[in-house]
């Protein structure tokens, strides 16, 4: 996937830990993304999503006041079908089966266990963007 295409894709990163959020944004820049919006929790992320309408969301699971699963449930429940269908990949340290199954039930588009490597992130994004015809 060419960097010129990636540079035109708006992506939203929702992560409550500043260092981790900056690291993820840095990895995305290395891959060629240039339109990166950020939010520190699910509530702020939801507002940012409605405001910027990204083509893709990377989201942590455990945040306050609205966690990633709550964010995804709220997103999938929107009446605006185009927005409700926004692809979401979870980036989390939580690998408990119950959390993974809940994410799947809520129609998460991917689940990456932290720490996130550039290679894994690129692979998951490539697969998702081809599957969703984003590229």
pLDDT digit string, tens, across residues 61-101: 999 999 999 999 999 999 999 999 999 999 999 989 999 99
Please report the pLDDT score of residue 132 as a whole number: 83
Contact 15, 24 (CB under 8 A): yes
Q: Which residue, 88, 109, 81, 105, is CA-closest to 15?
A: 88
Q: How many Cβ atoms sit within 10 Å of the Cβ of residue 56?
A: 22
pLDDT in tens, 113-132: 999 999 999 999 999 999 88
Whole-Å CA distances, 66 to 9, 11, 92: 25, 19, 15
Q: What is the pLDDT of residue 133?
A: 83
- Measure the CA–CA gap between 118 and 12, rounded to whole angstroms: 17
- Rounded Cα distance between 100 and 37, Å, is 25
Compute the average pLDDT of residues 35-40.
98
- CA dist list (Å): 119 to 13, 18, 36, 112: 18, 22, 19, 12
pTM of the model: 0.95
pLDDT digits (tens, 9 = 90+) for 1-32: 677 789 999 999 999 999 999 999 999 999 99
Which class is 3-122 in CATH? alpha beta
DSSP state of 117: P
Percent pLDDT > 70 in the chain is 99
């Amino acid at each position: 996937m060419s960097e010129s295409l990636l540079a035109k894709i708006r992506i939203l990163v929702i992560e409550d830990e500043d260092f981790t959020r900056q690291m993820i944004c840095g990895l995305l820049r290395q891959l060629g993304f240039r339109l990166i919006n950020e939010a520190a929790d699910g509530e702020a992320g939801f507002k940012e999503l409605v405001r910027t309408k990204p083509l893709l969301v990377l989201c942590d699971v455990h945040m306050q006041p609205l966690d990633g699963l709550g964010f995804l449930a709220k997103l999938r429940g929107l009446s605006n079908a185009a927005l409700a269908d926004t692809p979401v990949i979870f980036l989390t340290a939580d690998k408990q089966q119950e959390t993974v199954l809940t994410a799947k039930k809520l129609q998460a588009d991917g689940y990456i266990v932290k720490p996130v490597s550039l290679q894994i992130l690129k692979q998951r994004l490539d697969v998702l963007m081809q599957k969703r015809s984003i590229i």
